[in-house]
Amino acid sequence: MSDETSRPRRPPIPTDIKAFNKKLIEEFRANRGQLSGQMAGRTLMLLTTTGAKSKQERTAVLGFGKDGDRYVVIASGNGAPKHPAWYVNLQANPIATVEVGPDKIKMRARTARPEERERLTPLVPYLVSQQKLTTREIPIVVLERS
């Protein structure tokens, strides 16, 4: 079985992503990271950042990879031409809260250095397909315990 067929199929991107994510965040927190329906079995995290301008907390739902005790995510925004707001927020304030399963951890974010990209790319396998959707280089973000 190929790697592509052994993984669950990615669900289509909802038309109202904010409403979808709000519901997903509520379910994630209510069930200690366990999701149902089309999201059952997905390995997701909640990343809470502080707004660069608003200073308000904002939570994003992200897929992730692991590198030892560090988490690795990509600032894709589904291939959008601009970086997602959560990445802009981390550039202004790199301290964030990561929720994975029942765990809630304060972490410090940094953009992976160019020499790290090759080694970290396989940890987030959808980076390659997401990169094809945009001309900007999608940042790889490393989240480390602060």
The tens digit of pLDDT for each residue in 28-45 reads: 787 777 776 767 667 789
pLDDT score at 11: 52
pTM as predicted: 0.82
Per-residue pLDDT at 40? 65
- For residue 4, pLDDT over 70 is answered with no
Give the per-residue pLDDT at 29.
Answer: 81
CA distance 52 to 85: 9
- Going from the N-terminus, what domains does the chain have, and what CATH number goes with each? 3-145 (2.30.110.10)
Q: How far apart are CA 133 and CA 56, in angstroms?
A: 30
Q: What secondary structure, in 3-state letters, does the chain show?
A: CCHHHHCCCCCCCCCCHHHHHHHHHHHHHHCCCCCCHHHCCCCEEEEEEECCCCCCEEEEEEECEEECCEEEEECCCCCCCCCCHHHHHHHHCCEEEEEECCEEEEEEEEECCHHHHHHHHHHCCCHHHHHCCCCCCCCEEEEEEC
**110, pLDDT greater than 80:** yes
Nearest to 57 by CA among 47, 67, 43: 47
